[in-house]
Each structure stands twice: as structure tokens, then as C-alpha cells.
């Protein structure tokens, strides 16, 4: 059994929301891009996001793509992080009818899917309702 290299390359982004910050204008960037989308200056300084934010928009998936059938229905949201960037992620620990725009959420690490017959489990970030 071999683990795909993408699982190792992306683990900081998947487990801790590590992006970059622009040294010139201070814009926090996620996912990392090495060049600031605001001022086009180099942005290679790692930045760890808080993982807190709020639901900006959302949709519930009832007819999922191949490989995600057992998770349906599930809700996917655009989450605006406290630091500014928007992240697309699945919501967890909440019923679809309880989700609303402006709902405070926090990042958690959860199983995303199982890959292939060997059962390699991919973990990554999802968001759940934040209390308080």
C-alpha cells in the first residue's frame, strides 16, 4: 500500500488551515499562492488561520459525485474566516435545516473520504457550529 504524495503535500492546509501572509500589504492568503492577489508582491511567509468564521452561503448536496454517496445529504458552505479569506468546506455536526447565513463556525479535522480498495482514509478540514 502506498500513500499518494498529495496527502503529505496538503496536510498543513487540510489539518491546520496554513496559508501565507503578504509581507507588503499584510493580506492573509488561503490557499497559499506565493503571490499576493491584492498587490502582486511575494507572499511566502506561513500564516496559521484561527479556523473561526461564519457561513457566507451554503447548499445541501442530495446527489453527490462518485465516491461521496454514503455521506449524502451533506451541506457545503462558503465560510468567511475571521481573517478575511473565504473557504469552501463541508459542514459537520449540524442538520441541513439548522444551517443559516451568518452562523458562527469553527474548523475541525474530519474524515473526507476513503480512497480506493486499499481503504486509504483522507482527512481534512470541515466546519461545525461554534458555541459562544
Locate 78 and state its grid cell. Answer: 462558503
With 0.85 as the threshold, say if the pTM is over it.
Answer: no
| Mean pLDDT in residue range 9-23 | 73
Structural domain that includes position 58: 5-129
Residues 61/97, Cβ–Cβ less than 8 Å: no
pLDDT higher than 60, residue 85: yes
pLDDT higher than 80, residue 8: no
Locate 54 and state its grid cell. Answer: 461564519
> Using 50, 70 and 90 to split pLDDT, how confident is the model at 100?
very high
* The pLDDT value given to residue 1: 42
Residues 62/113/53/55 CA torsion (nearest 10 deg) = -10
> Using 50, 70 and 90 to split pLDDT, how confident is the model at 67?
confident
Angle at 7 (CA atoms; ends 88, 36), nearest 5 degrees: 50
Number of domains in the chain: 1
* The pLDDT value given to residue 117: 65
> Using 50, 70 and 90 to split pLDDT, how confident is the model at 84?
very high
> Using 50, 70 and 90 to split pLDDT, how confident is the model at 69?
confident
Angstrom distance (rounded) from CA 77 to CA 128:
11
Amino acid at each position: 500500500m502506498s500513500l499518494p504524495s498529495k496527502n503529505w503535500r496538503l496536510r498543513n492546509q487540510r489539518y491546520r488551515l496554513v496559508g501565507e501572509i503578504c509581507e507588503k500589504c499584510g493580506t492573509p492568503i488561503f490557499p497559499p499562492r506565493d503571490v499576493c492577489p491584492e498587490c502582486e508582491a511575494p507572499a511566502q511567509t506561513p500564516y496559521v488561520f484561527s479556523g473561526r468564521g461564519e457561513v457566507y452561503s451554503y447548499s445541501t448536496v442530495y446527489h453527490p459525485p462518485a465516491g461521496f454517496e454514503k455521506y449524502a445529504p451533506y451541506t457545503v458552505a462558503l465560510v468567511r474566516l475571521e481573517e478575511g479569506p473565504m473557504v469552501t468546506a463541508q459542514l459537520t455536526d449540524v442538520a441541513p435545516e439548522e444551517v443559516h447565513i451568518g452562523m458562527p463556525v469553527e474548523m475541525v479535522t474530519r474524515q473526507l473520504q476513503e480512497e480506493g480498495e486499499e481503504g486509504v482514509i483522507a482527512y481534512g478540514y470541515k466546519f461545525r457550529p461554534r458555541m459562544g
